[in-house]
Amino acid sequence: MFQAIVIDQDADRLQNCQLVSLDESLLPKGEVQIEVLYSTLNYKDALAITGKSPVVRSFPMVPGIDLVGKVTHCDTDDFSTGDLVLLNGFGVGEKHWGGLAQKASLNSDWLIPLPHKVEPKQAMAVGTAGYTAMLSVLALEKHGIKPSDGEILVTGANGGVGSFAIRLLSRLGYQVVASTGRPEESEYLMSLGACEVIDRGTLSEPSKPLQKERWAGVVDCVGSHTLVNACATTRYGGVVTACGLAQGMDFPASVAPFILRGVTLVGIDSVMRPKADRLEAWQRLSELLQPEDFQHIGHEIPLNQAIDMAHSLLDGKVRGRVIVSLQDG
Q: pTM of the full predicted structure?
A: 0.90
Parallel, antiparallel or unpaired: strands 32-40 and 66-74? antiparallel
Contact (CB, 8 A) for 231 and 265: yes
Query: Looking at residue 297, what is its pLDDT?
Result: 73
Rg for the chain, CA atoms, rounded: 20
Which domains, ranges and CATH numbers included, belong to the chain?
2-114+291-325 (3.90.180.10), 128-267 (3.40.50.720)
pLDDT score, position 197:
97
Distance CA 324, CA 326 (A): 6
**Exposed/middle/buried for residue 54 (C-beta within 10 Å: 0-12, 13-18, 19+):** exposed
Q: What is the mean pLDDT of each run of 10 residues along the chain (329 residues)?
A: 94 91 95 97 92 90 97 96 96 96 97 94 93 97 98 93 94 97 91 96 94 98 97 98 93 97 97 94 95 80 96 84 85
Extract the runs of DSSP E, i.e. beta strands, from 132-232.
151-154, 175-180, 194-199, 215-220
C-alpha pair distances (Å), 267 with each of 91, 148, 242 = 18, 24, 5
Query: Strands 194-199, 175-180: parallel, antiparallel or unpaired by DSSP?
Result: parallel
Q: What is the pLDDT of residue 159?
A: 85
The total of other beta-carbon atoms located within 10 Å of residue 48's CB is 29
Is residue 60 within 8 A of residue 8, CB to CB? The reply is yes
